[in-house]
Amino acid sequence: MKAFSKARLTKTEVRTWNASANADSLMKVLVAVAAFTVIAILTAIAFELYLNSLPSISKFGISFIWGTTWDVSTEMFGALPFIFGTFVTSLLALLIGLPISLGVAIFLSEKVKSRRMVTRSIGTLVELLAAVPSVIYGLWGLFFLSPLLRRYVETPLHDYLGFVPLFAGTPFGLDFFTAGVLLAIMIIPTVSAISRDVLNAVPNSQREAMYSLGATHWEVIWKAVLPYARSGIFGATILGLARAVGETMAVTMVIGNEPKITASLFSGGYTLAAVIANQFTEATGQLYISSLIEIGLVLFFMALAINTFARLLIWKMKRGMNIRV
């Protein structure tokens, strides 16, 4: 085709043709380099983290993961208290945040879908929650949420249900519980936005069939809409989990920063990201610093695993339902 057209062109035209063909391949190379840079950054992050945590890896080996001691003076470093704290706060965030996010998503897609003004303003409101910087969540959590929770939630729970190990200990406000509540608020925008898109993509025939059987509005949502959207909502939840696991500043400011493993939610704790933020700049000695970097490596693999899982779920969902997430 190209040769055929070339034969009919004048010399200058051929020159322009060649020039633009060169420009074409140049552009392709340039943007391909940009795309490659993204992969390179991710690979370089993994490599650098591994390289710099080698002293700690060779000293503690795999037992770093389940070591429970974090003692700077004797240079004994184990990551379990931080993994535990990350796990507890993220789980708490999901327990509180998921029902609220689902409620918002159901409201937007099932209750007021046809009223554009309402969906738009509530949608914007929830999106603005995502625009609040994490450090401002921390500031607000430290001076507003933490005293509020201590006074009106933690103290009553402790007074009446103190015999349950979860609510034992002295409610101080800077603990797992406050961190979990704060994280719950922070994951609402992510989880509710994706869930709303997923619910919106559920075909109307699903709802109509259920209505025609005489179901109430709630029964339609519960039995026809939510089951259909199950895997997408699961993906949204996992993505919310990823956000909770990686969150640093807000948690650092309200969790109390004590490397403890305890059943009590009203005890100070620590998370993987928080210990890096809090101790890195003051860390001295190669082993101490490399242990902190290895904590970063643990966080890297957790985030990678969770994200991969969530993306797979959402990709699967997208292929099935043709939506944009």
Partner 1 sequence: MVRRTNDSISVSTSRILMDKLMSILVYAAVGLASAALILILAETLIQGLPILKLSFLLDAPVPVGFSGGGIGPDIEGTLIMVGIASLISVPIGVGAGIFFSEWPESKLSSLSSFSNDVLAEFPSMVIGIFVYTIIVLTTGRFSAFAGSVALSIIMIPVVARTTEESLKIVPKTLREASMALGVSRWKTVVRVVMSTGKRGLITGILLALARAAGETAPLILTAGYSTAFLNGLFNQTGSLPYLIYYYAISPYSSWHAIAWGAALILIAIMFVMNVSVKLAFASKFEETRAEI
Show the site string, 51-70: x = touches partner 1 by CB under 8 A, - = not. xx------------------
The answer to whether 220 and 207 are in contact (CB under 8 A) is: yes
CA distance from start to end of the chain: 40
- Would you say 200 and 113 are in contact if contact means Cβ atoms under 8 Å apart? yes
Q: Go through 36-66 and write b for each residue having 16 or more CB atoms within 10 A of its CB, e for each that does not.
A: eeeeeeeeeeeeebeebbebbbebbeeebee
Which helix H or strand E contains 222, and what residues bound it? none
Q: Which stretch binds partner 1 (CB under 8 A): 15-23, 58-66, 161-169, 223-231?
A: 15-23
**3-state DSSP assignment of residue 70:** strand
Minimum gap (Å) between residue 296 Cβ and partner 1: 4
CB of 160 to partner 1, least distance (A): 23
Q: Minimum distance from CB of 276 to partner 1 (Å)?
A: 5
Residues 80-119 close enough to bind partner 1 by CB under 8 A: 99-104, 106-107, 111, 114
Among 14, 44, 54, 95, binds partner 1 (CB under 8 A): 44
* Residue 37 binding partner 1, by CB under 8 A: yes
311 lies in the site for partner 1, by CB under 8 A: yes
CB of 104 to partner 1, least distance (A): 5
Q: 237 vs 77, 234, 243, 299, 306, CA distance in Å? A: 32, 5, 10, 19, 10
CB contact at 8 A, 266 and 169: yes
Candidates 83, 179, 224, 249: give the one binding partner 1 (CB under 8 A): 249
**Site size for partner 1, by CB under 8 A?**
95
**151 vs 217, beta carbon nearer partner 1:** 217
Q: Which is nearer to partner 1, 162 or 280 (CB)?
A: 280
Among positions 265-294, residues that touch partner 1 (CB under 8 A) are: 273, 276-277, 280-281, 292-293
Beta strands in the chain (DSSP E): 70-71, 76-77
Of these, 65, 95, 128, 263, which contacts partner 1 (CB under 8 A)? 128
Cα 125 off chain centre by: 20
| Residue numbers 211-240 binding partner 1 by CB under 8 A | 211, 214, 216-219, 221-222, 239
Residue choice 83, 149, 157, 185 for contact with partner 1 (CB under 8 A): 185
- What is the secondary structure of 91-117 as a DSSP string? HHHHHHHHHHHHHHHHIIIIISTT-HH
**Closer CB to partner 1, 220 or 262, in the complex:** 220
State whether residue 201 is helix, strand or coil: coil
Angle at 160 between CA 158 and CA 161, to 5 degrees: 65
Q: How many of the other CB atoms lie within 10 Å of CB of 202?
A: 21
Binding to partner 1 by residue 126, rule CB under 8 A? Answer: yes
**Tokens read off for 194:** 């994706």
In whole angstroms, the minimum distance from the beta carbon of 114 to partner 1 comes to 7
Q: Does position 207 bind partner 1 by CB under 8 A?
A: yes
Residues 140-159 that bind partner 1 (CB under 8 A): 140, 142-144
